[in-house]
């Protein structure tokens, strides 16, 4: 399973990864077999063309008996185990800084579950090529998907639009995303609901990886920080987000008919 994101075109070979593989007696083929990551991704990491996200970096480091920071020190910090309450995570200063390759890899390699909770979520269509195809392919693999979108007619969505300074644009974005998602309703594995929750963080859970995009008063979600971590890295924190998603899901309702989405409220 390859998980990577694009770097600038000028790349430097990853000597740390190459040397660690050599010292531990790992060829590309052996590392690929041990980590279930394709050789093409490993070669790109070795060449410095792309970098892995946290989950795959941890998998490679564990196999090579080191830390991700030993292999990619410019990306991953070392987290001392003695620091109580800390977990290994990737922190992006804004959601816009999450490379598109991270999204594509997570969705294209999902094996069992995808949970998405947003207000508008139009960025998924604006930045992730073939988003509906990725969702349909996942459904074809038997991946169960739950998708929560903000109810365009709800007061919470209208209020958030005002708080973010984008006014009626947010309800319109919710309606647009529901329109775009409508063709996926034919897939039994995909379930869509609308919610009117006061949302403090958009959540994207793909199997055992989670990205939380927090909402800060006065600025749009795209400008707000996002954290990515795995269930193994922080079980308690993971459960906090999972419980929040389930609460929203339980209070959500089926989406309105498509013709009702664009009626004035």
> What tens digit of pLDDT does each residue of 243-263 get?
999 999 999 999 986 555 555
> Token pair for residue 210?
């989670």
Say if residues 194 and 252 touch (Cβ distance below 8 Å). yes
pLDDT tens for residues 128-177?
A: 999 999 999 999 999 999 999 999 999 999 998 888 887 788 899 999 99
The domain ranges of the chain are 4-71, 90-261
pLDDT confidence band for 105 (50 / 70 / 90): confident
- The per-residue pLDDT of the chain, averaged, comes to 86
pLDDT score, position 62: 86
pLDDT confidence band for 194 (50 / 70 / 90): very high
pLDDT score, position 258: 59
pLDDT score, position 148: 97
**In CATH, what class is 90-261?**
alpha beta
Half-sphere exposure of 107 (CA within 13 A, CB side): 21
Say if residues 113 and 132 touch (Cβ distance below 8 Å). no
Question: What's the CATH code, domain 4-71?
Answer: 1.10.260.40
State mean pLDDT over 33-49: 88
Does residue 54 carry a pLDDT above 80? no
Distance CA 21, CA 34 (A): 12
Looking up tokens 């995570």 gives 89
Contacts of 72 (CB under 8 A, 6+ apart): 14, 16, 17, 51, 52, 57
pLDDT greater at residue 50 or residue 194: 194
């Amino acid at each position: 399973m390859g998980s990577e994101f694009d770097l600038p075109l000028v790349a430097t070979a990853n000597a740390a990864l190459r040397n660690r593989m050599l010292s531990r007696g790992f060829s590309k083929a052996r590392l690929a077999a041990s980590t279930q990551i394709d050789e093409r991704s490993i070669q790109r990491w070795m060449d410095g063309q792309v970098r892995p996200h946290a989950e795959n970096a941890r998998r490679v480091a564990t196999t090579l008996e080191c830390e991700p920071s030993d292999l990619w020190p410019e990306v991953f910090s070392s987290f001392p185990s003695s620091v109580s309450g800390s977990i290994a995570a990737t922190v992006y200063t804004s959601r816009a800084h999450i490379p598109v390759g991270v999204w594509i890899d997570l969705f294209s390699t999902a094996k069992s579950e995808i949970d998405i909770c947003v207000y508008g979520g139009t960025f998924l269509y604006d930045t992730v090529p073939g988003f509906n195809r990725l969702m349909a392919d996942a459904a074809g693999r038997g991946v169960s998907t739950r998708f929560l979108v903000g109810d365009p007619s709800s007061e919470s969505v209208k209020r958030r639009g005002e708080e973010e300074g984008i006014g009626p644009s947010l309800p319109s974005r919710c309606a647009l995303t529901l329109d775009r998602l409508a063709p996926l309703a034919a897939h039994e594995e995909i379930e869509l609901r609308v919610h009117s929750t006061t949302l403090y963080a958009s959540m994207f859970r793909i199997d055992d990886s989670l990205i939380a995009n927090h909402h800060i008063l006065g600025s749009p979600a795209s400008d707000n920080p996002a954290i990515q971590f795995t269930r193994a890295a922080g079980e308690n924190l993971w459960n906090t987000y999972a419980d929040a998603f389930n609460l929203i899901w339980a209070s959500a309702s089926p989406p309105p008919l498509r013709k009702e989405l664009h009626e004035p409220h």
